[in-house]
Structure 1
Amino acid sequence: MRSLFRLLALLLLVASPALGWEYWGGDRGGTRFSALTQITPDNVGSLVRAWRFRTGDLDTRPPDVMKRTKFEATPLFVEDSLIFCTPFNEVIALDPGTGAQKWRYDPKINIAQRPANRFNCRGVAYWVDDHAPEGAACRSRIFTGTNDVRLIALDAKTGKPCADFGTGGEVRIDAGMKLAWPGEMQITSAPVTGRGVVIVGSSIADNVRVEAPVGAVRAYDARTGQPRWSFDPLAHSGIDAGHSNVWAPMSVDEERGLVFLPTTSPSPDFWGGKRPGNDEHADSVVALKIETGELAWAFQTVHHNVWDYDLPAQPTLARIDTGDGMRDVVIQPTKQGFVFVLDRDTGKPVWPVEERAVPQDGAEGERLSPTQPFPTHVPPLMEQRISVADVFSPFPGMAGSCDKLLAESHNEGLFTPPSTQGTVVYPMTGGGVNWGGAAFDPVHQILYANTSHAIHIVKLIPRAEAKGFNPPPGHDFGRQEGAPFAMSRSLAMSPSGLPCNKPPWGEMVAVDLKAGKILWHSTVGTSEDRAPLGIAFQWGTPLVSGVVITAGRLVFTGAMDAYLRAFDAKSGKELWQGRLPVPGVANPMTYLWNGEQYVVIAAGGHSEAGTSIGDSVVAFRLPRQGERPSLWSRTIDRPGGRFEAKAVAAALVLIALVALLWRWRRRRRARAD
């Protein structure tokens, strides 16, 4: 019966016209699943680079500006084109087979501004006006949000602005108050559309001030640009706070007429004394009626958030086998590594969620929630507690500083409140799961997600000490104006520059939701592009981006090193690596063109992570007659990935140098004694 269900599900998918990539997450519900089967575990090792397109940003933008970019876009496959946005909100359409540019639109944003979350555009939205006649201008539209808070509508065939939308094709969004600086508020994720409405969220600078711009989600008529509704997730009655915005991608259920919002924590992130209570509907999955903005339901994943554990991932809309029959659900992964599974009509948990007691003793003036929600059926995707016993010490004498850092910091496990002493926040504020979200295979009923494993140390700084505070290198500093504390945040690192916690630092996870069972973990990424001599230690890299799953039983993903990778969906074994110009810190996508399946990723690096920066989009496909895999593509013939002879030799040299240095330091100390 189970095999029959899988066959019927696959036939249904193959019969569907949506075999391309019309939405940022593959479909309206963000499942990031493709029914394509041409590329399989048996032939993926022969993939070749089909083409590479450069946006030209490296040549036309000043280096100091490029150092503030994140190329996180996922192209759409619509109108016989690949359409995506650059970090500077240029929208570009490419030929799917050659990568040649077809059209380009430049909104001419001011590069002198300093967007709080870097220059960034994760994607665009596609919409077809069924009421317009065939061939009419702007019958099919591309919607894009900008770093300077505009919503723009373009003709999907030509790239020309839609004159009937807003003013000359754009709507300027009013923040509702004077911004602290141009760039305090921006739009980073793709808009969504449904029932003739286009909906857009916003990204607002964290930890700047208590009285910050509200995090309203705004909806506009997709034809005219006229405002339809706005929704502020945070009920401001009796509290003093801003934000609770939606910076992450949203999802749409067109049939039900619902849009699903992953909301954030109110401002500021790490002290909430002026926002007592649970801060409804912050840090929640919120379902709204598309046409009116009316609240259908909301489910909160963190009460009174003071850890920056907002919802960073697109809610995944899926139909799952719960054991009691099929059910339409919303799957919401979190930074803590939790997976909440909610009924799509009511928002109630499909499996029990327990309120469990969590650490208290918050900072002065803080009023913490005594409990937090914990899913009980689906296990966490990663460990959620760290201690001195977990410190990474690859060479003798390297663990001392990390031991001291963890021992001196407040650490009672998950949800330990921020403190003036310094608090261990693990998982860090950037993961578990981040904006890349999860992918769901509807045929085999398996969820896949990337996770990051690192420690943040968050410290509250009394207001009197915050004036003139000069943060040490590698420390974020937020003034949290209007609160009695400023804050600093840093990754727990050893003097060698390695994370204090043991690797892997990035893993892909597969989970059977029905069984509530983790099927496998697989390390993703190596140190090759960061370590001296190209040493490829299999330690994994942080994974803020996501994955794509195919009916060919492959999972594709990028990492913080310069490879696109393919994994066996059943076993988690790494099967293939495709070399990229710089790291592809973006969600990949796949499509069929002229009978050939392509896999594409934006390769632009990630300025916040300190990688090399680029401006490329790269496509791979199976070889044509006479073509052979090149240096850009290689098969992985063992679990765990590539560890070539040159890397082994380089590692031995490095170990020898460290050993010599250690011996020299011991002799020097002995002489001093």
Structure 2
Amino acid sequence: MMTYTPLRVTLMLALLFIAASFLGGTAVRSMLGFSDDLTIEGDAQIVRTAPVDVGGGWEAYGGDKGGNRYSAATQINIDNVDQLSIAWIHHSGALDGKSDADRSKSALQTTPILVEGSLVFCTQFNEVIAVDPGSGAEKWRYDPKVPTASNPANQYTCRGVSYWKDGAAEADAKCATRLFTGTVDARLIALDAKTGEPCEEFGENGTQRIQPSITLRWPGEFQITSAPAIIGDTVVTGTSIGDNLRTDAPKGTVFAFDTRTGAIKWTFDPLSGSPDIRGGHSNVWSTIAVDEERKLVIIPTSSPSPDYYGGNRVGDNLYANSVVALNGDDGTVAWHFQTVHHDVWDYDLPAQPGLYQVWREGKAHDVVAQVTKTGLLFVLDRETGKPFLPIEERAVPQGAEKGEVLSPTQPFPVNTPAIVPDRVDPSDAFGITFWDRWACKAQLESLRAEGLFTPPTIQGTLSLPFTGGGANWGSAAFDPNRNLLVVNMNNVGQYMRLQPSTTESAKANKISDDDEFAPMEGAPYGMSRAMLLSPLGLPCTPPPWGILAGIDLDSGKIVWRKALGTTEDVAPGGLALKLGTPALGGPIVTAGGLVFIGATSDHYLRAFNVVTGNELWKGRLPAGGQATPMSYVWKGRQYVVIAAGGASNMGSKLGDNIVAFALPE
């Protein structure tokens, strides 16, 4: 899972504000040795016209079932994007009446879909709402009445709903088209897509409850956060499970149900590849991809429990930390590729596998592109799971603590370097004063830091990228005209430290929100971790702390990289230094030559030129935009829509807004 501690930079940037008052923003950036534009290594070249079956609508969370996050709409383009303005805003009221404790564990991360003449989305607390696509006027809503005060391990959130059309039903029959949504208390719910009423024949009165493999320690240990996958007449879901509490944890089973009745069709346990393993998890908490033609369900799996010690699970832990292609009919494994062997870094796969069509020498190739927390990009052949772009095993640091057995090598892509760095020399520690920088330098010097896959230690280990990425659940977008994958990544560090277990630590039953401690019951160590910050609260790693990049999937070459986000909404006085900020949420691409993304710590939706990565426009949001946008055409007008409700774990402003931008009528 992803853990993300707020950077608390409002007060911490005070000295930067003072410096800027005297020197100006450009001078401050020069003083810090930072350039707005990172290295541009090439140009994106148009190679063909996008396939007709990609980008025609937005019927799935990722635009389509393969997660292209691409719209073929061209009304909004590089020539007129600067004319965008807010067309409408919908307020869900999701936070009304909620306790401070529940609000402080919430995040609006939804991406709407356009189905049955409605724009449909879910709120932080799992209400499903349909609005008019042209005005934002509410048409209906369904409230599953999720329990509050359940302390969900991974926030109150819902990233999306899924759509299914019953080919055997009369068009006007109830539930001839259905929406599926998961909840914080692990229910899978089927609704009539036109009315929002429960489909009573599905499960029990429209609900199928997902059962954990063992008794939960507290109600929020086990939940559903991502939109279910639909393949044929089957709906598939994974679960999000709290990390690091215990070795003997719930299993990360993937469940497949009949879309009409809710009857179980098959299950897949990602730990089945390691039958001798003692423990649980290796769950699928992010978004699943579907290849309808090949009848494949392609899942991104996480690490076994606990995250930072694997003495109970010696070996590579097959199917964990892997892209796994399952046969949609029975859940058997068609192929798999493991991105991290024997994970002890919490480097689970956080993003939807991208099912793209890449052109090389005039021939189309179906691939799976997986972005990762480590900052690495793996591109696989979709038929076989073998590398499409070359991958090699490289030796990695060894010398773990007693009881641990590390993998001697890890897979690395050959053509594409890490999109964000995996190490920082202490002499390059960031700081806006000598004192600040010295403190960061001392912290870095105290940690074991040998690059990616340096093992967790009692001494303390640098984790860079940190457990929030690199990439995260926002996933990547793909421009099929240019073979160009676009992804945003975080560039901040974290320390992690193993602590010999004690009776007191074993009594802990959850992870704290600040400097985290987790007991990892059943392991000989507990774990603590925290963002690596200066005394003023700024990241010790040099900026940019958030980047947006474009990668050519034919060659693997990084085409461009740009700093993403400013300090405007976290610095005193609204000082907007383009240092890049950590971001949650992902990009989309449109045929108008644009990349749209929110996600950053400042409250904007931005548009970039897909060829150069240059920023062309930004639109102010009423709250944090920690979500992935989408785009559609309704009655001849193109809209770009994003949820702006913030995320408590980023410290951004909370809200209940769905915001639509469009050109003037």
* Both proteins in one fold, TM over 0.5: yes
Instruction: Check whether the contact 2:222–2:240 (CA below 8 A) recurs between aligned residues.
Output: yes
Structure 1 segment 366-405 matched on structure 2, within 5 A = 366-405=404-443
Partner of 1:638: none
Q: Deviations over 1:386-421 (max 9, x none)?
A: 221331122332211111111011111110000011
Equivalent residue for 1:251? 289
Q: Deviations over 1:505-538 (max 9, x none)?
A: 0010001121221111111111111111111111
Post-superposition shift, 1:469? 9.8
Mapped partners of 2:223, 2:319: distance in 1: 21
Partner of 1:56 in structure 2? 93
Distance 1:351 1:461 in 2: 40
Amino acid at match of 1:404: A
Shift of the alpha carbon at 1:323? 4.4
Q: Distance in 2 between matches of 1:172 and 1:207?
A: 24
Instruction: Provide the rounded CA distance (Å) in 2 between the counterparts of 1:196 and 1:244.
Output: 26
User: Which of structures 1 and 2 has the larger relative contact order (alpha carbons within 8 angstroms, sep 6+)?
Assistant: 2
Partner of 1:620: 661
Work out the CA distance in 2 between the residues paired with 1:538 and 1:366: 42
More displaced 10-residue stretch of structure 1: 148-157 or 470-479? 470-479
| Per-residue deviation, 1:326 | 2.0
Instruction: Decide whether the 8 Å contact of 2:596 with 2:606 is kept in 1.
Output: yes
Tell me the residue number matched to 1:600: 641
Which residue in the other structure is 1:152 paired with? Answer: 189
Selected match of 1:305 from 343, 364, 373: 343
Instruction: Output the CA distance in 2 between the equivalents of 1:600 and 1:226.
Output: 35
Identity of aligned residues (%): 52
- The residue aligned with 2:529 is 489
Residue by residue, what CA displacement relative to the aligned partner does 1:40-70 show, whole Å, maximum 9, x if unpaired?
Answer: 1111111110011111023232232111101
SS in 2 for 1:190: coil
- Asked if the contact 1:431/1:544 (under 8 Å) is kept, the reply is no
**Distance across 1 between alignment mates of 2:552 and 2:504:** 47
1:43 to 2:84 alignment = no
Residue identity opposite 2:230 in structure 1: T
Q: Is the 8 A contact 2:46 2:482 kept in 1?
A: no
1:524 aligned residue (564, 570, 594): 564
CA contact (8 A) 1:335 1:427 kept: yes
CA contact (8 A) 1:427 1:453 kept: yes
Alignment partner of 1:327 is 2:368: no
| Residue 140 of structure 2 corresponds to residue 103 of structure 1 | yes
TM-score by length of 1: 0.90
- Among 349, 353, 357, the residue aligned to 2:391: 353
CA contact (8 A) 1:67 1:613 kept: no
1:69-88 map, 5 Å: 69-88=106-125
Using the alignment, how far apart are the partners of 2:371 and 2:422 within structure 1?
Answer: 14
Q: Secondary structure at the match of 2:180?
A: strand
Where does the alignment leave 5 or more consecutive residues of structure 2 unmatched? 1-43
Question: How many angstroms does 1:465 deviate by?
Answer: 7.7
Residue aligning to 2:161? 124
Identify which of 451, 455, 476 aligns with 1:413.
Answer: 451
Partner in structure 2 of residue 477 of structure 1: 517
Where 2:436 maps in the other structure, the secondary structure is: coil
Q: Give, in angstroms, the shift of residue 464 of structure 1.
A: 2.6
CA separation of 1:257 and 1:389: change in aligned 2, threshold 3 A:
same
Listed one character per residue, the Cα deviations across residues 551-599 of structure 1 (whole Å, up to 9, x for unaligned) are 1000000122111010111111111111111110000000001101000
CA distance in structure 1 between the aligned counterparts of 2:303 and 2:45, rounded to whole angstroms: 44
Give the counterpart of 1:201 among 222, 238, 242: 238
1:533 aligns to what?
573
Give the equivalent residue in structure 2 for 1:548. Answer: 588
Deviation at 1:325, TM superposition (A): 3.1
Q: Deviation per CA, 1:195-239, whole angstroms, max 9, x where unpaired?
A: 100000000000010000000000000011000000000135222
- Structure 2: distance between partners of 1:172 and 1:290: 21
In the TM superposition, residue 324 of structure 1 has moved relative to its aligned partner by 7.8
Partner of 1:262: 300
Query: Which blocks of at least 5 consecutive residues in structure 1 are unaligned?
Result: 625-673
| Match in the other structure for 2:218 | 181
Partner of 2:278: 240
Query: Which residue in 2 is equivalent to 1:464?
Result: 502
The one-letter code of the counterpart of 2:447 is S
Q: Within 2, Cα distance between the matches of 1:173 and 1:166?
A: 11
SS in 1 for 2:435: coil
Aligned to 2:538: 498
Q: Which residue number corresponds to residue 480 of structure 2?
A: 442
Distance 2:189 2:446 in 1: 50
For 1:492 and 1:566, locate their aligned partners in 2 and report how far apart those are by CA, in whole Å.
31
CA distance in 2 between counterparts of 1:294 and 1:467 reads 40
| AA at the equivalent of 1:550 | T
8 Å contact 2:81–2:617 — kept in the other structure?
yes
Would the aligned equivalents of 2:83 and 2:664 in 1 still touch at CA under 8 Å?
yes
- TM-score when scaled to structure 2? 0.91
| Structure 1 residue 227 corresponds to structure 2 residue 264 | yes
Residues 1:575 and 1:250: Cα distance change in structure 2 (over 3 Å) = same
Q: Is the 8 A contact 1:313 1:334 kept in 2?
A: yes
Instruction: For 1:601, give the aligned amino acid.
Output: I
Is 1:136 matched up with 2:176? no
Deviations 1:484-506 (A, max 9, x none): 00101100000111101111100
Contact in 1 for aligned 2:431/2:534 (Cα 8 Å): no
Extract structure 1 runs of 4+ deviating beyond 6 A.
468-473
Letter in 2 for 1:589: M
Q: 2-side partners of 1:485 and 1:31: how far apart?
A: 41
Task: Report which stretch shifted further, 315-324 or 601-610.
Answer: 315-324
- 1:229, 1:293 within 8 Å by CA — same for their partners in 2? yes
Letter matched to residue 549 of structure 2:
V
Deviations 1:281-336 (A, max 9, x none): 10000000111111101110000000001100000001112448321110111111
CA distance in 1, matches of 2:517, 2:45: 56
Total equivalences in the alignment = 619
